[in-house]
Amino acid sequence: RRCGFPEVIFGEGKPAATIATIFDRLLAAQVRCLATRISEEKADLLRAHFASRKNPTARYNSLASTFRVDPHDAPPLERKGRVTVITAGTSDLAVADEARETLDWMGINVHTINDVGVAGPHRLPARLPEFVGSDAIVCVAGMEAALPSIVGGYVDCPVIGVPTSVGYGANFGGIAALLSMLNSCAANVTVVNINAGFKGGYLAGMIASKLHDARQRPQ
């Protein structure tokens, strides 16, 4: 297990049969499984596969395009840490939900706050109590992607910006949002690839997990 977490399958370009085979191997080793970028078609095939194996834990999230399946007798997952996923608009939800699913699979406590983009300047401050105190924040935004800079000004934890390709015209498939986040004047904002919900969630979860462990096992 790399980085303290079982492998995640990047589903794009892999046939459902290949994914099922990898999952079977991981499940046999008692690993909880996650695959990202799974289309509806592949999900149907995977669902059929795990139905035939009588594994009732298989589940597809069509918003996040993720597929999850646990070993038959996996014990309930103990939750740890605290990450908030914040979106600028409803169109950013699919990417944000890939982050949320990743965090959930890592066993992190996740809270999500949607549609608090800068166009409504009173919306974000109104929800401060919900995200101040997070171990890390995943901030998902397209278009001008001003949100991470503003969130970064309110908190003293790492803010991981996930630019999305939401928008049209001069947003150039997410370049506008990516450049905006890279040039953020807030010192606690860092950036991952365009639409990389998985990576944003993974990094936030890694930070929260380590903080949780440090709190449990003091030096």
Exactly one of 6, 8, 57, 111 binds a copy of itself (CB under 8 A); which one? Answer: 8
Residues 96-135: x/- map of binding to Mg ion (CB under 5 A)? -------------------x-x------------------
Q: HSE of 142 in the Cβ direction (CA atoms, 13 Å)?
A: 23
Torsion sign over Cα 125, 131, 135, 140: negative
Distance in angstroms (rounded) separating the CA atoms of residues 87 and 140: 5
| Exposure on the CB side of residue 210, measured as CA atoms within 13 A | 8
Give least dist CB 55 to a copy of itself, A.
Answer: 25
Count of residues in contact with Mg ion, rule CB under 5 A: 3
Say if residues 68 and 58 touch (Cβ distance below 8 Å). yes
**Category of 126 on φ-ψ map: left (φ > 0), alpha (ψ -120 to 50) or beta:** alpha
- Contact set for ligand AMP, span 150-189 (CB under 6 A): 187
In terms of CB distance, is 72 or 127 closer to a copy of itself? 127
Q: Tokens representing 76?
A: 């309930």
Q: The tokens 């059929």 sit on which residue?
A: 48
199 binds ligand AMP (CB under 6 A): yes
Q: Which does 107 bind (CB under 5 to 8 A by kind): Mg ion, a copy of itself, ligand AMP, none?
A: none
Which 4-43 residues touch ligand AMP, going by CB under 6 A? 7-10, 36-37
Pick the stretch among 82-90, 131-139, 176-184, 186-194 that binds Mg ion (CB under 5 A). 82-90
Does residue 212 interact with ligand AMP by CB under 6 A? Answer: no
In Å, the largest CA–CA distance within the chain is 53
Where helices occur in the chain by DSSP H, the ranges are: 16-28, 40-52, 93-105, 128-131, 147-154, 175-182, 197-216
Shortest Cβ 44–Mg ion spacing (Å): 25
Question: Which of residues 85 and 203 has its CB atom nearest to a copy of itself in the complex?
Answer: 203
Q: What is the binding site for Mg ion (CB under 5 A)? A: 89, 115, 117
Q: What is the binding site for ligand AMP (CB under 6 A)? A: 7-10, 36-37, 89, 187, 196, 198-199
